[in-house]
Each structure stands twice: as C-alpha cells, then as structure tokens.
C-alpha cells in the first residue's frame, strides 16, 4: 500500500478503536523511523511536539477528541504522478468535543542512514469545517473493478499484475486470508473491513517505476488500448480509496 495512505489508515483506526473504549494499538512498519506530530495552539493550550503515535493520541484524548478520520481524493487526474509518499493528498482529521476540527498533514523525509522515512505531521485548525461525508460499503463495485482490470492485465500480457488483482478479489470475496504478522502493523478491524483493507493493500499498484503506471501503460499503448487502460485504472484506484475511507471512517 502507498506509504502515506497506509500510515494514516493505521493511525486513524488505532485512534478510533481507543475512542470507543479500547487500547491505542499502533505498530510502526520497518521503514517508518521517526514519526513526529507538531500540534498547533488551541485556546490556552500551546503547541507541542509528540514524538510518538502513543503520545499523539494521549494529547488528543486530553483535548477531548471525539472522532479521528481520514479523507483523500478518489479521482486522480494524473496517476503517473503518484509516488510512495507525499503525493496522495491523504489527510488525517480530529474532531473535538468543543466543535473544533483540526487536520494533520504528513510530510515524509528520506533517512539515508537508517534507510527509511522520517515523518512529520503538522496540525492546523480548520475554520468553518464542512460536515463529515459518509461513505458506503462499496465491496461489490470494488470486486467488479478488480475483476475487470485482472482480465485486462491478462490481455496485455501483465500476468504479475493480473495475479495481484486476482488475489485482491479473492480476499475481498471470502477467500483464504494471507498470513498476518504483528510486524506488518495491520490495524485491528472486524473481518469484513479487514478483508477490504487487505484487498486495498494488495491492489494498490499505482506508483512510479515498476508500477501499473509503467510497463502496463506502454503495453496498452502498443495494443491501442489506452482508453480501456485509463478507464479501468481510474475505477480501480477510485474504489480502492473509497473502500479505505469507508472502513476507516464508518462505524
């Protein structure tokens, strides 16, 4: 999964579970080195830095957080510009008991010594925030998007991508779940939403070199099938992201 999207999903789910009365359970992935949160000033509370996700959530709890959610665009004009981080527009939001809504915008910086990423979230207050959009369960549409693009990948000779789309569809429709390790940082979700998360993870193939944006596009171009390529790619990315916003934001 895209590094930026994955991190925000995991933070939001961990916070939501804690707000509902559970523990705040968050595990960093091996490539996530430092994760810092810069808080803005709110009333008499000065801005501070939290140097871990646990401290970040404790601060939110102390400020009366009621809901944590994520929003990202599900229609992307230039999919070829997508990278592993800093390109998705995915944003983490917090709503507090006094009506204040803030957003945490991440920035990833490569750490060449540790061969990973340092992440800094900066918080700011949203004036006149809009009502939170509700998302529906799009499982059926997601399955269809995966099935259609799987057939297309086979047709243009991209069997490795076809296999990824097939695996995503199998997980989504009740197939055997992959082996899960605690080090993968998989968020705690009910099985139906866990399946959506894993399917989205498996089928997130949009990035730079070696991604669905690279060789498959050129193979589609050679076969004069770029219209189909763009239509199917847009559907997959859209339903992938809609599934993530549904499983993260909706109770």
Q: How many CB atoms are closer than 10 A to CB 215?
A: 16
Confidence of residue 44 (pLDDT cuts 50, 70, 90): low
pLDDT digits (tens, 9 = 90+) for 212-230: 999 999 999 999 999 999 9
In a shared domain, residues 79 and 144: no
Whole-number Cα distances in Å, 189 to 18, 55, 58, 197, 250:
12, 22, 21, 9, 12
Residue 210: predicted pLDDT = 84
Residue 174: predicted pLDDT = 94
Whether 132 maps to a domain, the answer reads no
Whether 150 maps to a domain, the answer reads yes
d(CA 189, CA 195): 9
Whether 40 maps to a domain, the answer reads yes
Q: How many CA atoms lie within 13 A of 111 on its CB side?
A: 16
pTM of the full predicted structure?
A: 0.94
pLDDT digits (tens, 9 = 90+) for 226-246: 999 999 999 999 999 999 999
Specify the number of domains making up the chain: 2
What contacts 141, CB < 8 A, 6 or more positions away?
Answer: 239, 242
Per residue, the 3-state secondary structure of 20-37, as one string, reads CCCCCCCCCCCCEEEEEE
Q: Which of 99, 125, 151 is the last residue of a domain?
A: 125
Least confident piece of the model among 93-102, 133-142, 180-189, 193-202: 180-189
Mean pLDDT of the chain: 93
In a shared domain, residues 121 and 157: no
Domain that holds residue 229: 139-249
pLDDT digits (tens, 9 = 90+) for 178-201: 877 765 789 999 999 999 999 999
- At 57, which CATH number? 3.10.450
In a shared domain, residues 181 and 91: no
In a shared domain, residues 109 and 198: no
In a shared domain, residues 7 and 49: yes
Whether 133 maps to a domain, the answer reads no
pLDDT digits (tens, 9 = 90+) for 63-84: 999 999 999 999 888 888 888 8
In a shared domain, residues 120 and 151: no
């Amino acid at each position: 999964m895209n590094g930026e999207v994955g991190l925000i999903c995991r933070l939001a789910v961990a916070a939501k579970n804690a707000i509902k009365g559970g523990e705040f359970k968050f595990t960093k992935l091996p490539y996530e080195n430092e994760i810092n949160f810069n808080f803005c000033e709110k009333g008499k509370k000065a801005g501070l830095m939290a140097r871990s996700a646990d401290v970040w959530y404790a601060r939110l709890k102390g400020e009366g957080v009621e809901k944590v959610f994520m929003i990202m665009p599900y229609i992307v004009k230039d999919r070829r510009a997508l990278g592993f981080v800093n390109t998705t527009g995915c944003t983490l939001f917090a709503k507090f008991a006094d009506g204040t809504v803030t957003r945490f915008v991440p920035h990833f910086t490569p750490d060449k010594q540790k061969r990973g990423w340092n992440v800094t979230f900066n918080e700011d207050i949203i004036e006149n925030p809009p009502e939170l959009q509700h998302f529906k369960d799009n499982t059926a549409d997601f399955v269809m998007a995966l099935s259609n693009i799987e057939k297309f990948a086979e047709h243009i000779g991209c069997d490795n991508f076809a296999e990824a789309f097939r695996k995503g569809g199998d997980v989504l429709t009740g197939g055997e779940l992959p082996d899960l390790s605690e080090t993968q940082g998989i968020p705690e979700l009910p099985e139906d939403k866990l399946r959506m998360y894993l399917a989205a993870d498996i089928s997130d193939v949009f990035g730079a070199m070696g991604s669905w944006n690279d060789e498959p596009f050129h193979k589609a171009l050679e076969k004069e099938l770029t219209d189909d390529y763009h239509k199917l790619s847009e559907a997959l990315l859209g339903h992938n992201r809609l599934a993530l916003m549904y499983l993260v934001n909706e109770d």
